Structure 1
């Protein structure tokens, strides 16, 4: 029964965010959350966002504000969800979809795979060039099969969401 309660509240899935952030940053995030939560009900909703934006001198349309709230797990933006959304930004990793789209740029046939040698070449010669040691380390973690990198599985691994396939 306690598992059902945890699933419904979403606390179990997002509680590890509390261990990821330093105490000072957590306090600053709580202050920011409290400033946005205009009606002090423990949730940030469309009316809270409207009030905040009006204080800044501009109010986006309801559709935009509603889509902001819908980004939260369960469409409820409580403090835990607020921290979860911002922890990805603070940890320096891009959202899952952004990472996937970056890999897709090099997958002309949209197969979900990038040839291993092509990927190595990209890592060595584009952006922040990887050293041979960095590539070796990456390859220890990369899901490679048949000479191809499964970038969807790689993105899941980067984001800590890898799952066993049946």
Structure 2
């Protein structure tokens, strides 16, 4: 008699429903993201995978950089081609076949590593400060309204009104982004503490 439960025994053949469930259930890095996020990453990957072979290789990277008007240095190309997720970054090129490239699962893993290193507070402050010419900690609400409606993930007017309405906008039409980021940090810390309790 085996000391392992029967469902873990290597002699048992999985049923059709077990095989189907295993295919449907997300595993590994895919479970870190919502389906919509994975779809966005797939779209980004397909933009880089210029030859549509399912791998991002040297030719794909060169074509992508060229479309952006960037001429990458040989060192940058080497670093991008030899970087692998989960193993501390760059691997010696002798250990990697450069023409193999990076598949979507590796790409998604690399994106997750960078996203989880993301310091939201510092990134938000840096983004806002690039529009704060006087270094006052505020930006004009009119300018914010324009940016939010015309660039990136555009917001509609109702969303912008809801965002700019409140204690972070003063009577002179300035949005105090430093205070807003502080409140975000406090709320994030409170949510993290509540989740651990």
TM-score bracket, normalised by the shorter chain, equals 0.3 to 0.5
TM-score by length of 2: 0.38
TM-score by length of 1: 0.45
Q: Which has the higher contact order (CA 8 A, sep 6+)?
A: 1
